[in-house]
Chains A and B, each alone.
Chain A
Amino acid sequence: MWPPQHHSPTCVVILFSIHFVLKAEKLFKKQGISHDVIPVPREISSDCGMAVEFPCREIEKVSELLASADIRIAGLYRRDGRDSFQVISRS
């Protein structure tokens, strides 16, 4: 099923490289934050990389987690619908 079906609103974080996506994935797993590693949505960027999608209620925890691991955020978005995203922040 695409996009992943979430019961609560989700956010998508774009990082600078697959290395940081996987570092984030490892941290999310460790902290028990539910997440999906997804291709960067075309509506956000034409980059062929990956991104991490997670419930928006975790946004503060996620921001702190990434900052504490020195993972820079390239962009943070709220999913408004299947193909629609709202910018929260962008570097």
Chain B
Amino acid sequence: MDSKPAPIYVDNAATSFPKPREVIDTISSLLGGMSLSPGRSAHRYSLECSRIIFEARETLASFFNCPDSSRIAFACNVTEALNAGILGLFGTALHPGDHVITTPFEHNSVMRPLRYLEKNAGLTLSILPLSDEGEVMVSELPRLMRDNTRLIVVNHVSNVTGSVVDLEEIGRLKGECLLMVDAAQSAGVFSIDVKKMHIDMLAFTGHKSLFGPTGSGGFYLREGLALQPLKMGGTGSNSETEVQPDFMPDIYEAGTPNTLGIAGLGSGVEFIVKTGLAAIRGHEQRLCALFLDGLRQLKNVTVFGPGAGRQRAAVVSLRVKGKSESEVAFRLDREFGVMVRAGLHCAPAAHRAIGTFPAGTVRFSFGYFNTEKDVATCLRGLDMIAAR
């Protein structure tokens, strides 16, 4: 038996690895350093935890150009944030009979709550078409809009093809509709400005390109908008009343929060600010371009996604002729140490739209800590797998 090849992690769209040293240090020093229940007691540990969470909130608010950090609520991941938004708008800004527009690139964390409301609450749903370039046709938005269109939900970057949606254009075209953005893949790579892009709700996860640990994430909600909270309970505020507080962030943050996760997320965003968003994006896109160039030389490999020269994230979906997606992923791992993800990536609508349903694709997603050598190993592995 050959010795195991060195691990090469190219599944950053699932979760980023490795994390910056600062994130690890923040989390380990906190876990070993103090109790982790913020905002509940008056002692120094509790207060210090509250300060750490407050600073993380301020860091995220500034990162997304959100004018008031109290409009950022933490959640355990982007799925929870999107559900808080979609299900929470129902009954406040969204009512039976209302119309919602979304894209074929939505993850199931958007599609499932929307389909649920479509089936059970009388919402109607329209889906923007894709162009020949494999991009969401934002220009079709005015044609799909109706008098009762209340909400547009958009995945900023496809977790299947890396295709990017022009949020500024949607912000310009949306009129009175609310704009909810799933920034799972884009936050930490592409610049997001909630004011400039007229975003009403932005859902983000902590553990992908924001470099936090799993179990962290949250959302920004524009002032003046309210959601029906998904959960109610202790907030450390207004404790004399049995009614959930009506102000942010407390209204959406019942229960002891993931202090470690939020602290790590704050550290991750500080790392991004220090390193520079453009530097991170530049590095990832260089690796992606190198990979795409190499793929063009390979026989029997089909790439799905935006054409050459289009704006994209470092997420590449492909198929190898005559091989199943799971076989390719398995052999990449066993024979070359390359860790990728095969299948539908929880986005069946995206795979239907690009013609890869139900088998899906093999997805490579490069991160800031990948190297050109990693790309070369990915290409060598694919070449050998395609050949036999």
Is B229's CB within 8 Å of the partner chain A? no
The answer to whether the Cβ of A73 comes within 8 Å of any Cβ in the partner chain is: no
Chain A residues near B58 (CB-CB < 8 A): 26
Nearest A residue to B223 via CB reads A70
Could you tell me the distance between the alpha carbons of A18 and B121 in the complex, rounded to whole angstroms? 37
CB neighbours of A47 from chain B (8 A): 237-240
B249 — which chain A residues lie within 8 A by C-beta? 17, 19
Query: With an 8 A cutoff between CB atoms, is A22 at the interface?
Result: yes
> Which chain B residues in 219-246 approach chain A with CB under 8 Å?
235-240, 245
Q: Which residue of A lies closest to B250 (CB)?
A: A17
Q: Quick one: given A16-B247, A19-B70, A19-B250, are A49 and B239 in contact (CB under 8 Å)? A: yes
In the A-B complex, list the 3 residue pairs whose CB atoms are closest, starting with the nearest: A39-B42, A22-B54, A18-B39
Size bracket, chain A contacts: 10 to 19
Task: Determine if B237 and A70 form an interchain contact, defined as CB atoms under 8 angstroms apart.
Answer: no
Closest to A49 in B: B237
A-B contact pairs, 30 of them (CB 8 A): A16-B250, A17-B235, A17-B245, A17-B247, A17-B249, A17-B250, A18-B39, A18-B50, A18-B237, A19-B69, A19-B249, A20-B70, A22-B50, A22-B54, A26-B54, A37-B47, A39-B42, A46-B239, A46-B240, A47-B238, A47-B239, A47-B240, A48-B40, A48-B239, A49-B39, A49-B236, A49-B238, A49-B239, A50-B47, A50-B50
B237 and A17 form a contact (CB under 8 A): yes
Taken together as a complex, chains A and B put the C-alpha atoms of A7 and B70 apart, in Å, by 34
CB of A29, distance to nearest CB on chain B (Å): 11
Q: Kindly identify, within residues 18 to 51 of chain A, every residue whose CB is under 8 Å from any CB belonging to chain B.
A: 18-20, 22-23, 25-26, 37-39, 45-50
The residues in B between 95 and 145 inclusive whose CB is less than 8 angstroms from any CB of A are none
Total A-B contacts with CB atoms under 8 angstroms apart: 56
User: Which B residues fall within an 8 A CB radius of A?
Assistant: 38-42, 47, 50-51, 54, 57-58, 68-70, 235-240, 245, 247, 249-250
- Which residues of B are found within 8 Å of A45, using beta-carbon distances? 240
B197 CB, nearest partner CB in chain A, Å = 22
Q: A17-B245, A49-B238 are in contact. List 8 more A-B contacts (CB 8 A).
A: A17-B249, A19-B70, A22-B51, A22-B54, A25-B51, A46-B239, A47-B240, A48-B236
Q: How far is the CA of A50 from the CA of B46 in the complex (A)?
A: 11
Residues of B within 8 A of A18 (CB): 38-39, 50, 54, 236-237
Q: Given A16-B237, A23-B54: A50 and B42 within 8 A (CB)?
A: yes
A24-B57 Cα distance, complex, nearest whole Å = 14
Chain B positions within 8 Å of A37 at CB level: 47
Among B38, B69, B239, point to the contact of A23 (Cβ < 8 A).
Answer: B69
Residues of chain B within 8 A (CB-CB) of A38 are: 42
A9 to chain B, nearest CB (A): 23
B237 / chain A contacts, CB cutoff of 8 Å: 16-18, 47, 49
**How far, in whole Å, are A27 and B39 apart by their CA atoms in the complex?**
19
Give A9 to B54 CA distance when docked, in angstroms. 29
Docked pose: A62 CA to B40 CA in angstroms: 25
Bound Cα distance from A16 to B239, whole angstroms: 11
Q: Which residues of A contact B70 (CB under 8 A)?
A: 17, 19-20, 23
Residues of A within 8 A of B50 (CB): 18, 22, 50
Bound-state CA distance A19–B68 (Å) is 11
Greatest chain B CB density within 10 A among A16, A45, A46 is at A16
The reply to whether A19 and B236 form a contact with Cβ atoms under 8 Å apart is: no
Cβ distance B296 to chain A, nearest Cβ, rounded Å: 51
CB proximity of B71 to chain A, nearest CB, Å: 10
Taking CB atoms, residues of chain A closer than 8 Å to B247 are 16-17
Instruction: Tell me the complex Cα distance, A53–B245, Å.
Output: 24
A19 partner, pick from B41, B42, B54, B240, beta carbons under 8 A? B54
